[in-house]
Chain A
Amino acid sequence: QIQLVQSGPELKKPGESVKISCKASGYTFTDYAMHWVKQAPGKGLKWMGWINTYTGKPTYADDFKGRFVFSLEASASTANLQISNLKNEDTATYFCARWAGKDWYFDFWGPGTMVTVSS
C-alpha cells in the first residue's frame, strides 16, 4: 500500500537549520511529483512548492524562496525539505503530499513533521 513516512519532530533554535524527510513506499517514486505544505499551529494550510521527482527540479512559492530547499534521495524514494536560518515563524507542521499526476490533486499525504523554533 502507498505510504509517506515523515521524520520525527524537531526542536531548534533561531538561526539553526533543519532537514525533514518524506520516505515513499508502495509505488514508483519517480512517477509522481511531491509537494510540501506548511501548517502553523492552529492555522490553515499553505502551499510551499513542489519537486519533480523524475528530474529533481524544485519549484517554490514566493514566500518560500531563499531559505527553503527541496531535494531528493531518489535511490531511497525520499524527498527532503531543508530550512536554513530558522525563525520563530517557521514553527509549524510540514506535510509532504503526493501529486496525482494529470488530475492535479494531492492523493496521499504524509503524517506531518512538527518543527518548533524556540530560543
Chain B
Amino acid sequence: DVVMTQTPPSLSVAIGQSVSISCKSSQSLVYSDGKTYLHWLLQSPGQSPKLLIYQVSNLGSGVPDRFSGTGSQKDFTLKISRVEAEDLGVYYCVQATHFPLTFGSGTKLEIK
C-alpha cells in the first residue's frame, strides 16, 4: 500500500497567518494517464470531510482561493493564506492513483 506521510501533525496559528502542510507518498502518484490523483480534504470538528483540492492544485467547488495546492510525483503541499477561524479542523491528503486508496494521518489546525 502507498504510505502517505503528513507533517506536521498539528499546527497552531493566528488569524491572518499563512501555513503549509506537507504530504509525501511512498510511491509516485502519477497515473498512467499522466494525471496525479492527490487530493486534500478538511474535516471540521464534528463534521464529515469536505473536498478542498483535487488533482494536486484544483480548487473544489466553493472553496476560497486562500487555499492552494502544489507538488508533483511524491511531494505535495497544501498552503492556506490568511487563515480564518473557519479553517480549523483536521486536514487530510488522500491518494487515488493506487489501489487501495490511502489517506495521510492528518494535520490538526488550531487557531491561537
Contact = CB atoms under 8 A, between A and B. Distances in A.
Contact of A103 (B48, B54, B90, B105): B54
Contact of B55 (A46, A97, A105, A107): A105
A95 B51 contact: no
Given A47-B100, A62-B100, A105 B54 contact: yes
Nearest to B97: A104
A104 B37 contact: yes
A95 B49 CA distance: 9
A45 B49 CA distance: 9
Interface stretch (A24-32, A75-83, A108-116): A108-116
Please tell me the size bucket of the interface on B. 20 to 34
A45 B94 contact: yes
Given A107-B60, A109-B49, A47 B103 contact: yes
A54 interface: no
Interface in A54-83: 61-62
Interface of B: 35, 37, 39, 41, 43, 47-51, 54-55, 60-61, 90, 92, 94, 96, 100-106
6 contacts: A44-B105, A47-B101, A61-B100, A103-B55, A107-B60, A111-B48
Given A45-B41, A61-B100, 20 more contacts: A35-B101, A44-B104, A45-B94, A45-B103, A45-B106, A46-B103, A47-B102, A49-B100, A62-B100, A95-B48, A97-B49, A103-B55, A104-B37, A104-B96, A105-B54, A105-B96, A106-B49, A109-B49, A109-B50, A112-B48
